[in-house]
Structure 1
Amino acid sequence: MVQDIVFVTGNANKLKEVQMLLSGSDINLSNEPLDLDELQDTDLQKIAVAKCQQAVQVLGAGKPVFVEDTALTFQEFNGLPGAYIKWFLKSMGLEKIVQMLDNFPNKSAQAITTIAYADSEGKIHVFEGITDGKIVPARGPTAFGWDPIFEPLESHGQTYAEMTKEDKNVISHRGRAFAKFNQFLSGN
């Protein structure tokens, strides 16, 4: 049975990547570029759940909907910039984000995606994917966020930006979160 689900995003690149990750499943994905308030917190699950609850209020109950929130955490900074990476990127750019770690030997980072899904009954389910890696000087195309500065440990020395979309999706935080989400949807 095909499920109609709304993905709340205004990010065209993110939408394309999610469509690719969910291709082959029994999901009819549409999107709504809602401008939701973002809870200011370091807890990604709290942020995603709050955004999902807002989306349900705006779109109306009974419509399955999900939001996705992504973070980039630096071990040296106890998890920052975390959920604030979008704003760091917007105000500083890739080069200055990399420079933040110049005086520290530890360049370890985690890419984290958290999905909050409200089913047709309004119950919220949370799925998370994590990829370990390190921060490196930018390499590869700069079209998709911080991909050029994140080198996953499993990537054989490539940044996300240098990888093919297919290879990236196998090991990425988003790919892992959506694999869990898809598995959940397949069981319902």
Structure 2
Amino acid sequence: MAPCVNFVTGNANKLREVKAILEPAIEVRSNPLDLDEVQGSIEEVTQSKCRRAADLVNGPVLVEDTSLCFNALSGLPGPYIKWFSSEIGHQGLNNLLAAYTDKSAEAVCTFGYSAGPGHEPILFQGRCSGKIVPPRGPSRFGWDPIFEYEGQTYAEMDGAQKNSISHRARALKKLQEWFRDHAEGSVTAPQ
């Protein structure tokens, strides 16, 4: 029987990508709880969300936090990309780098897994280096149209291509390896 986790997200695009990458090896059940996000480092934000989710679900949970780090801005907007993006959009994110020649950026995805309340979160992080460009491709998912990796924005890639190279895919590969090595048969089904 495959291990099963509650993926705590209200983002249908994230859920679709996570299910496409993990299943059927790890069953992913959606739980769209709205979790408060603390201010802090990428890791602190994910750990806090994971602890809160485990308490609320009272079982095994998986949470995710995505960051977009502009090298010219010493890593900002980082874990606050969701808020930056919703306020200033793709053009505003490009404008943040207008005064800099360095348009390089790093997409960072951090998953937190907890077996349940009282269990310390285990973090799995994936990183993908690229650069910030004017929007190209469909605007279906967050900042995908402005993050370019090897000549294509995430938005210009089909799902399978993105899911093979993205920051999220790299983090989930680490999670899959951990489950394969440590959690086989020891993960209880969510309530």
- 5 Å matches for 1:26-175? 27-41=26-40, 43-60=41-58, 63-120=59-116, 122-152=119-149, 155=150, 157-175=151-169
Q: Secondary structure at 1:144's aligned position in 2?
A: coil
User: How far is the alpha carbon of 1:23 from its aligned partner?
Assistant: 2.3
2:3 aligned residue: 3
Q: CA deviation at 1:123?
A: 3.4
Q: What is the CA deviation profile of residues 72-131 of structure 1, one whole-angstrom value per residue up to 9, with x for unaligned ones? A: 000000000001110011011101111111111000100000011002572321100000
Gaps of 5+ in 2: 184-191
Return the offset for 1:164.
1.1
* CA deviation string 1:6-65 (max 9, x = no partner): 00000001100100011231x221111111110111x111110000000111112xx110
CA distance in 2, matches of 1:105, 1:123: 41
> Which sections of structure 1, spanning at least 5 residues, go unmatched?
none
Q: Quote the Cα distance in structure 1 between the aligned partners of 2:88 and 2:105.
A: 18
**SS of the residue aligned with 2:152?**
coil
Cα distance in 2, alignment partners of residues 76 and 20 from structure 1: 33
> Larger relative CO (CA 8 A, sep 6+): 1 or 2?
2
Cα RMSD over matched residues?
A: 1.1
Q: Specify the alignment match of 2:172 in structure 1.
A: 178
- What amino acid does structure 1 have at the position aligned with 2:30? N
1:20 aligns to what SS in structure 2? helix
Amino acid at match of 2:132: I
Cα distance in structure 1, aligned partners of 2:13 and 2:175: 19
Q: One-letter code of the match for 1:171? A: I
Amino acid at match of 2:124: F
Residue pair 2:50, 2:63 contacting (<8 A) in 1 also: yes
Identity %, equivalent residues: 46
Q: TM-score, normalised by structure 1?
A: 0.93
Q: How many residues align?
A: 181
